[in-house]
Amino acid sequence: MQGKIALEEHFAMDDTVEQSVRFSSQKHWAELRSRLLDACDVRLAEMDRHGIEWMVISLNSPTVQAIPDAVAARELARRANDALAAHVARRAGRFLGFAALPMQDPDAATAELTRCVRELGFRGAMVNGFTQTGDGSGLAYYDLPEYRPFWRVVESLAVPFYLHPRNPLPVDARIYDGHPWLYGPAWAFGQETAVHALRLMGSGLFDECPGLRLVLGHMGEGLPYNLWRVDNANAWLWRDVGHGYPAKKTITEYMKENVYITTAGNFSTPVLKAAIEILGEDRILFSTDWPFEDIADAATWFDRAGIGEETRRRIGRENAAALFGLD
């Protein structure tokens, strides 16, 4: 399929690239590092080769979210966003940007997102999970009350917020002791991000901001396939007091009304078909997760997946075009 749009695609700067070494074997690190630092040339060649017209680029993980000092986080986010804006300008008509945000300070995050959207032309934000605070052991999840003004501005700007994974801190990851293979995309990424997304939905955020649009990668971090159980448990166990959380609707309703999922890094046709049946084809977006996954693998799988051509067109292009306001 020609004309695909991809939106979980990463780049790095010299002072952030080493944070990605943990996601690569020593054998492949040189290649991954080169891909991250090359924001345009190799990336564009792969896009042309595999029918991707637009790519939305974002900073590697966890970077800004791993800096407890709010001033330092704000400075890095601004530099990263300015660097990304320069890359996007070099390839106008092919690249778009997601803002990195210093969520350590909700007011600063709000100001930086507003600058990126209104001045740099970015189409939303990608934030790498929870933000570390204090001495680095404190955690901020974005359902907390101090983030409500931030979310109202995200809604008013009419741009999506992509919640990208990160690993839990060691103190919260004892379940993985002795099993390092469970970190990252194998399991820990999805578990951490799914709980964060559930917190956002259950907090009543989308009742207050019904126009807010949240994006989850990797086919929804496992959430679509557990929605019935989540809702059934809350409906039965908490039947006398509502859902057991402040939100007014079921989690399934929020997933279908406020959440998009992408195919990034999860190239399974049975999983894609299940997501279509559970959420509907209008809530799913093509993505690759470059450079941690190969564009060739993502595009070849998607172009051959056993779905109808109209469905392929919607997931591959039309849903994202509508989300980002592209012609």
Q: Which residue bears the tokens 């959380």?
A: 245
Neighbours of 116 (CB within 10 A): 27
Tell me what pLDDT residue 226 has. 97
Token pair listed for 2? 């020609």
Q: Which are the catalytic amino acids?
A: 289
Residue 28 pLDDT: 82
Give me the residue label for tokens 């126009």: 211
pLDDT value of residue 234: 79
How confident is the model at residue 236, as a pLDDT?
Answer: 60
Domains of the chain: which residue ranges? 1-61+263-327
User: Cα(78)–Cα(121) distance, rounded to whole angstroms?
Assistant: 14
pLDDT beneath 70: ranges in the chain: 236-243
| Residues 6 or more apart whose Cβ sits within 8 Å of residue 204 | 245, 246, 247, 248
pLDDT of residue 237: 56
DSSP assignments along 5-50, one per residue: EEEEEEE--TTTGGGGGGGS-HHHHHHHHHHHH--SHHHHHHHHHT
1-61+263-327 to CATH, choices 3.20.20.140, 1.10.3720.10, 3.40.640.10, 3.40.50.2300: 3.20.20.140
Residue 241: its pLDDT value, please?
Answer: 59
Q: How far is CA 132 from CA 8, 23, 67, 176, 295, in A?
A: 22, 20, 6, 20, 32
CB atoms within 10 A of CB 184: 18
Q: pLDDT tens-digit profile of 87-120?
A: 999 998 999 999 999 999 999 999 999 999 999 9
Beta strand pairing call for 138-140 and 131-133? antiparallel
| pLDDT score at 40 | 83
Tokens of residue 203, six digits? 């907090």
How high is the pLDDT of residue 240? 61
| pTM for this prediction | 0.96
Contact 143, 195 (CB under 8 A): no
Given this model, what pLDDT does residue 309 score? 98
CA 33/CA 18 separation, integer angstroms: 8
